[in-house]
A and B are shown apart, each in its own frame.
Chain A
Amino acid sequence: MKTVEKIVNPVPRAGEQSPSKIYDPRLKVRARREWRGVKDTFYDYTRWLYLVSVLVRFIAVPRNVKGFFRYRWMMSYLFVMHGMDKFTIGLRDEALRITHTSFNYVIADVTEAISKCFRGDRRVGNDKEFSDRCVITDENSMVTFMMGFDRFKNPTILREVPTMFASNIFHQFNVMHYLDIAQEYGIPGDVCPMPEAEAGISIDDDFCVLGACAVQNNTTCDGSLMGNGIIAKRLERQYGIPTFQLATPLRHKEEDVLEYAAQEIKNAIAFVEKHTGAKWDWDLYFASAKRVNESTRCRIAQLEINSTPYPQFFGAAFSLYNDTNYMGNSGRNEDFIKIDHKLLELAEKGYREKRMYAKEYRHRCIIWGVQPQYTIDMLYWLLQCWGIVPLADMLSIINTDMIAEEDTPENREQAYRDMAMLNMEMIMRNHTHGGYKVLLDDLWELCEKMNADMVMMWEHMSCKALTGMHGMFEEQARERGIRLMWVSHDLCDPRVFTRSAIRDQVSAYMRTVLREEPLDPSLEHIPDDEAY
């Protein structure tokens, strides 16, 4: 078996030694906040104050109050701070600051998205002039086709992000209602609960209704295609919002699909121009392209730090930030670059000072497969309870190539191919589709690069994209001496696999296969199944 050096943290943890005491089975939230020592507790408190101020500013707008009482999913945003607590367990020093910096920015970005939704929503703000400039897209869409449009004049609204995806981060039960609605209308219960919930939201009349037009993407799976059909039908037939289907090739590693994919991008741009009256601007596009490249450089640098014995930016925050920046932003917002640089600065400082965030690092782990780690604090738990360091996850392993960023006649043609490439290699699609090279070979290469001795395979019960390769993963991991741990879940439906059921699979593997004892036994069983 491949082995990695175990590293014991020479520095005692500031504040309380185990976060297990903050859980209370009688409560749906934490009993209290973690004591991280004076310096880090005060820092955490100031970030809490910042989030309170974000929420207060949001709710001070009357139409947002109206939206709050209209949409059921808005209830989840009362638990933003609870979500933050989930992703900071056991963290101190730079990792705490990195998590707050990235996550707080994502929260502020989502809050802005909700405000825009309510402003244009026919049932809430009903600002028709604003709505007629907006383009709405899927939660899992790359917005590369909007890189050449002014983000202020023509806002892109990923309508499903605040409605389903982000709200589920803060409240694990929030989509159950929508799953039930979808199933009441005959949609089978064995499709991925994410698109099924989105379909349920549409059926239940709980999406904001706005936009000059919409662009949908054939995301990654049968469930997503099904959901898009249901949502598009309502958008077009009931609300009269024209919807474009951006049909992206799934075999994205084959060169002959690129021209077709580039043509699809041209078609999407022409569609947006037609319905919003806006014109594509190459200056804006190439400015965005420069920012995409800068973000890519920063992400590569973060991964390089994580390949050393002292990783700094990891866990759900890493993945969520990359999701938001790469897919939802695509270089259009210059503020992300400032955050990228700040995060890299913090990570470099942590690396120089050899900061560790658990008593001991025993295993270096790659997280692969369709992941539910946004709704549970799994990756931080792995580190604190078992000393397993989550180095990188599948959703964060995205494009590392630079795209054309100088405005020349040749590059204008290349730009369509670049947008198509980014779109084809968007989060999820880049590894779940495209053949076994992107799912298996890329994983082993990553293990090599990151010096990982372990892979945690998330096995999503309702996902058909990965189920056929179960045996190949096992066989190839065995050949390479990699410890392969399967952990089943059902994404955002906690009724199929509770948090305890998910964690117990790890504990069973660690005890019975690896014959190890937990670093912190008090964390092995956490009473948080009923917590948000």
Chain B
Amino acid sequence: MSIGSVGFRTLFFKEMLRFWKVATQTIAAPILTALLYLLIFGHVLEGRVEVYPGVSYTAFLVPGLVMMSVLQNAFANSSSSLIQSKITGNLVFILLPPLSHWEILSAYVFASVVRGLCVGAGVFIATAWFAHLSFAAPLWIAVFALLGAAILGTLGILAGIWADKFDQLAAFQNFLIVPATFLAGVFYSIHSLPGFWQAVSHFNPFFYMIDGFRHGFFGQSDISPWTSLAIVSVFFAALAAIAINLLRRGYKLRH
């Protein structure tokens, strides 16, 4: 076994242990939040809105909430871990050992994916009772959940590297990540939007993640899942390339 793989696995394990030790905050709380969204929006809008033919509003909402939770928690995992380590200074324990840039990136991203999927699964289990769900194409569900979590995990690394204070990270999360997920069609189909906002939504990469993910449940989506996959994959590759480049240069980490 090469040194690289032990180093990667250790960092991956440490990142998982980190969120697992505070699971009430990192897993249970976001599940409760998603459940509240479902109860409130489902109660208000059920029977008044039919996004896809034959799909109730609550059923439409569940995959959106699951994916939103996956994305937001994947982002929260890597970003909060990095900023905490930077501010408390214990990032030095990761910067001193012979870990490669790839090992650092992949360990943080994998742990973010695990956290995102744990929360997503929890949200699904908690909310699926309230709606009749189908699984038209389960592979799309898995592909978009994994890719979406990996993208947000990588974005979390970028935000964690860039931010010098909790304040800046919170701004990144509140002014970028949260609006981008909320406006990506979690609660509605973009076809219900005016033309201008439909066009704007197409520039939001989060829209493709949620739309592709939802396709896996209903076999229906706003655009083809293959188009979404292509766009999401390119987005992930671009973010990963930026993250690797920053890690290699030591940007804000080894200054």
Are A and B subunits of one complex? Answer: no
* Chain A residues in the interface with B (C-beta under 8 A): none
B residues with CB within 8 A of A:
none
